Every structure is written in structure tokens, then in C-alpha cells.
Amino acid sequence: MAKILIGKYEGSIYEEGDGWTGAISLGFASSGKRKRLKRKGKTKTEVRDKLVSAVKELEAGIKSTAYYTVGDAVEDWLSKGLKGRDAQTVTTNRILAEKHVIPYLGRAKLTELRADDVDEWLDGLTGKLSTRSLQGVHSILKRSIRHAQARDKIARNVAELVTTPRGRAGRPSKALTLAQANAVLEQAESSPLYAYVVLSLMVGIRTEEARALQWAHVIAWDEAKERFRAVSEAGFDHDKFALYVWRSVRTHGDTKTKKSRRTLELPAQAADALRRHHARQAVQRLKAGEVWQDNGLVFCTRAGTALAAGNVRRSFRLITSRAGIGDEWTPRELRHSFVSIMSDSGVPLETIADLVGHAGTAVTEKVYRHQLRPVITKGAETMNTVFGQSKSA
């Protein structure tokens, strides 16, 4: 047994089992029992280094035990660090954590986690996850350790020192052609999702905005009163309709950005689809009776509750499959299709940005670059035409 002195603490390192154990005395508890801090390792040097680190953390006010793991930190963050977030956000983070963080790093002691460990873990996921998903799981680890830091369980956040690598290429978003859009509309007509599809395709609202839309925000121009009124009061016997796109299924019901709050006039087909949907929902409400929950939602379940995103995706894939274009489409691609059709019809980029609720054209160009008509070729095309004609003359 070798006696040691680390700072003001006395201790010893001794052989135990197949390795070495180090212990330093921290005095006595109020019960009179001796308090000791222990660390184990394969060599005496390794044990001494661990004891030095433990003393530094002790003096810095770190309260983590040698048994507090990365898994413990992640679980603590999931249970305490997501207060106030919507249920879907909590569920998504838990799924990512339980599938990609805890199985790989969960058993590691938090105080022994190194940046190299994080690097190796992320590199091992690059072939499985997209870049966005990699950013998500890396963020979970960083925020979990940050949560532990705030509770004096660790001194520094090694996950913050690592750069998220690029993941596997995801499937790029696509847009319906006009012919495909007509086929989808035809097949959707017999579906409960018909008005949802028409509205998303012809108005370009986000799926999260559609699922949160309320009848109070579907408005008709009342000719007699010369003002817009909610269709729930004014009815559908009018010529002009619009939407207040003011809500989404995000936390607190806000739209994605302030610019996203917009009022959009409805095309005639979209207004007609909503009129028919309103009538069907009234019948549905009567059938449901006391089970019905009146949340004022335009798109809801048979009991009046909010639609789940997963159910909307499944229903939409059935429609696209029946339309003969396959089942690898998502509802958000109706918005991409809206942008594409607007652009192909010669609508200016500035107008499209306003319609989809972007703060400026830069966002529209970045997000929907594959759906926008490539106007940058127009100069060359014009010059080829002009000088080609001149040369032939």
C-alpha cells in the first residue's frame, strides 16, 4: 500500500483484484462515519490521475459520483430539461436518445467521457443517420451534459468540443407536376383528407399550420356588412373566402416565424372543398355525440381531437399510391408543389415568398431551389436567340 497526498487530502493506493484502487480521506460525516473517495484502474498511475481529477472536481464544487453515467445524464435531461415543450418534441428527443445515444454511450461514466469518445460515436452513425438526425443526437448529448453542468455534476462539456459530421444523404424533396397534382386531387376526392390536400396544394400552407387550422380562421367576405367574418358565423353562401394563417401545432400555437402569420385568399376549389368538409364534419359531430371534443379544428379525428402527423402521412400515401405515382410522397411536398406551380406560372419570387410566409426571397430560394424556375438561364437564352437570328439573317 502506497501513501499519497493530493492537495490537502491524504490517501493511499493499493492492489486489489486484477488492478489498483485509490482512496482519499474526506474526513467524517455527521454520523461519525469516515468519508472516502475511491477510484479504480489497471495501473497505479491511472488511479492517481483519476484521484487528482476527482479532487479538482471536488474543489470546484462538482458533486458527481463515480457511478453517474452518460445514460443518467441523458435521462435526467429528458425528464427535467424539456419542461414546457410540446409532446411531439419530447417524444422525438426520447426516441433519438433511446435509439442512438444511450445504447452507445449510456454506460460510460460522465466524468470519464472524452471528446474522442464523442467523435467515434458520431462517426459510427454517419452511415445510418442523415446530417439533420446527427445534429439532433449530438444536440441531445450536448444539452444533457449542459444540464448536468448546471447541477455541478461535471466540470466541462466535452460534447461541445466536437463538430457534427455530415451524415448520409437524405431523400431530396420533390414536387408534383401539374398532371400528377390533378391525379392526386382526383383520387383524394373520396378521402376524408381531401380538403387538407386541396388547401395544402392550392394555398401552400405548412402541414403544421393545416393541422392547427380552426374554423374561426376560415373567413368569408360578408357583402352586406362589408367585412370578413368567420364562416362558422357567416356561412359559405359568399363569393370571397380567405384564411388567417396564425397558428401551428408548435409550442404555444405560434407559427414558425412572425412573417409566417399571414392572410391568404382562397381559390374557388379550396373554398368549395372546405364547404363540403364543413358539412361532413357536422354529420360526424352528430354521430360522435358526447364523445365529440369541440376544439374548433378544421381537420380533426372523428372525435374532434387533433390529427397526428403520422396518420396524415399514411393517409396521404394511400392517395398518391391510388394516383399511380407511388407511396414515397409526404404531405409537406404539397407545399413544394405549390411553389413549383406558382413559379412555372410566372409568379414573381417575391410574391411566392410572401405566400409561403418567408421573411425574404433568400429563404425561399434556399428551401425550394429545386422547385423554382431557373431564371438565371434567361440571359443566355435571349442572347442565343437574338444573335442566332442576326447571324442567320
Interatomic CA distance for residues 3 and 284, integer angstroms: 80
Q: Are 218 and 265 in contact (CB under 8 A)?
A: no
Neighbour tally for 360: CB within 10 Å = 12
C-alpha of 79 from chain center = 19
Cell for 132? 439533420
Q: Are 187 and 322 a contacting pair, CB within 8 Å?
A: yes
- The neighbour count for residue 86, using CB atoms within 10 Å, is 14
DSSP at 130: B
Instruction: Give the residue numbers marked as catalytic.
Output: 206, 256, 335, 358, 368
Q: Would you say 154 and 170 are in contact if contact means Cβ atoms under 8 Å apart? A: no
For 14, phi then psi, to 5°, come to -140, 155
371 close to 355: Cβ distance less than 8 angstroms: no
Give the integer Cα–Cα distance in Å for 345 and 338. Answer: 11
Best CA proximity match to 315, nearest among 214, 205, 200, 197: 197
Alpha-carbon distance of 321 to 329, in angstroms, equals 9
Long-range contacts of 215-223 (CB under 8 A, 24+ apart): 215/278, 215/296, 215/297, 215/298, 216/296, 217/243, 217/244, 217/245, 217/246, 217/247, 218/243, 218/274, 218/298, 219/243, 219/244
> Cell digits for 378?
434567361
In three-state secondary structure terms, 202 is helix
Asked whether the beta carbons of 184 and 178 are under 8 A apart, the reply is no
Residue with grid cell 360522435, as numbered in its chain: 288
Coil, strand or helix at 27? strand
